[in-house]
Amino acid sequence: MKRYLAPAVCAVLALLIAPGSALAQSDDATCDITVTVDAIVEWDAAAFTAIGLASISDQGTPRTGTSSLVLYTNGDVDLTADNDTDAQLSSATDALVTEYQLTDDGDGTSDTGMATDVTTWTDYTTFLSPAVTATHVSTDGAVNITLGVRASNPAGEVADTGAYSATQTLTATWAGP
């Protein structure tokens, strides 16, 4: 039996290393895959973090604060604001001068801003009216939007003592392309 074992092992090894043998063959199959990405306009959360301003303790010193939220978009977006009295800091008996400002992180790598930058404080009645367009930067689908608020006493007077509150709503609407 020993003499038949050696030729059998050699035959198996020859099959394994022989070019064109069944064990050394391969064959590829391809699959084309497609997907469509729809227009996306989506805030990272349902609300900005609340802004708590320091107490107003004199007639002429405004108080400011900010809150940021990520806006995911793959195209240009128009930003508008709620300009009704809900956006004005008020109490049951009085109201403060209420102004807003909007900035963004530009191309996602710096704080230089892009088309949405509003560099001046704007009264709540005209903030983002008309709409401001956030111009999409290719490969940057996450824009950090910072909402600023400034509160002060009306010129030449002081507001009533008490707590004041407001709700500002920003709306992002697809503009294209």
Instruction: List Cα–Cα distances, 29 to 90, 129, 163, in angstroms.
Output: 68, 57, 70
Report whether 148 contacts 64 (CB < 8 A). yes
- % the chain with pLDDT above 90: 66
pLDDT (mean) for 136-145 = 86
pLDDT in tens, 94-136: 999 999 999 887 654 444 444 455 668 999 999 999 998 888 8
pTM summary value: 0.79
The domain ranges of the chain are 41-176
Helix, strand counts (H, E) of the chain: 1, 8
pLDDT in tens, 43-87: 999 999 999 999 999 999 999 999 999 999 999 899 999 999 999
Q: For domain 41-176, which architecture applies?
A: Sandwich (2.60)
Q: What pLDDT does residue 118 have?
A: 61
